[in-house]
């Protein structure tokens, strides 16, 4: 029974990541704010990490990251690597130092999103040598950062509900 519930929960997480990836990629679905749209897969992967053990968190980080890699024209594995490490450490930190609640989820969202968006800017914009990196930060990456943060409460509540619904029966 325990294994069955866990399998169902993991399938639900996988489906959640896939659906959010499609919503994120679908042209015209999410309105652009200052020309930017949110990375909806990122909040989902990070909030899953808040509830799951570190290796499971890392696995879903890799999956979410691979979706992001596939959507973006960058080498496969870039986002997967960042999200794998981030989700692993988020899960570890939460287990050792923090309680899982709304406030810690938002604080985690603040720094993890900053790490991901800064990495995208650094490795996929600044290092390749595109012009006007400062303009890119102000006009594209900062709006994307704040827009992505808006999805943390939603994904936190969704994953909390999923975890509790399928955990209680274990």
Binding site for other proteins (CB under 8 A): 18, 21-30, 35-39, 54-55, 58, 62, 66-73, 75-78, 80-81, 84-85, 88, 92, 120, 124-125, 130-132, 135-136, 139-140, 144
Instruction: Write phi, then psi, for 125 (nearest 5 degrees).
Output: -125, -55
Q: Least Å distance between CB 2 and other proteins?
A: 20
| DSSP string computed for 27-80 | TTTSPPBTTB---THHHHHHHHHHHS-HHHHHHHHHHHHHHHHHHTTS-TTHHH
At 36, is the secondary structure helix, strand, or coil? Answer: strand
33: β partners? 36
Give the nearer residue to other proteins in terms of CB position, either 132 or 157.
Answer: 132
Give the nearer residue to other proteins in terms of CB position, either 133 or 161.
Answer: 133
Give the nearer residue to other proteins in terms of CB position, either 89 or 160.
Answer: 89
Of 63, 50, 83, nearest to 164 by C-alpha is 50
Q: Least Å distance between CB 146 and other proteins?
A: 13
Q: Least Å distance between CB 136 and other proteins?
A: 5
Q: Least Å distance between CB 1 and other proteins?
A: 25
Give the nearer residue to other proteins in terms of CB position, either 34 or 102.
Answer: 34
Give Cα 91 distance to the centre of its chain: 13
Q: Least Å distance between CB 45 and other proteins?
A: 14
Give the nearer residue to other proteins in terms of CB position, either 115 or 160.
Answer: 115
Within 10 Å of residue 47's Cβ, how many Cβ atoms? 31
**In the structure encoding, which two tokens stand for residue 79, read together?**
């986002």
């Amino acid at each position: 029974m325990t294994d069955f519930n866990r399998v169902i929960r993991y399938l639900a997480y996988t489906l959640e990541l896939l659906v959010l990836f499609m919503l994120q990629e679908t042209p015209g679905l999410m309105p652009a704010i200052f020309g930017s749209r949110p990375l909806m897969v990122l909040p989902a992967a990070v909030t899953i990490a808040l509830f799951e053990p570190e290796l499971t968190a890392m696995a879903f980080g890799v999956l979410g990251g691979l979706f992001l890699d596939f959507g973006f024209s960058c080498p496969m594995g870039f986002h997967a690597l960042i999200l794998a490490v981030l989700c692993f450490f988020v899960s570890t930190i939460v287990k050792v130092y923090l309680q899982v609640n709304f406030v810690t989820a938002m604080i985690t969202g603040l720094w993890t999103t900053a790490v991901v968006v800064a990495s995208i800017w650094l490795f996929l914009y600044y290092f390749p040598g595109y012009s006007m990196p400062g303009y890119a930060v102000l006009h594209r990456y900062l709006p994307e950062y704040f827009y992505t943060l808006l999805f943390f409460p939603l994904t936190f509540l969704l994953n909390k509900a999923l975890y509790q619904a399928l955990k209680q029966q274990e």
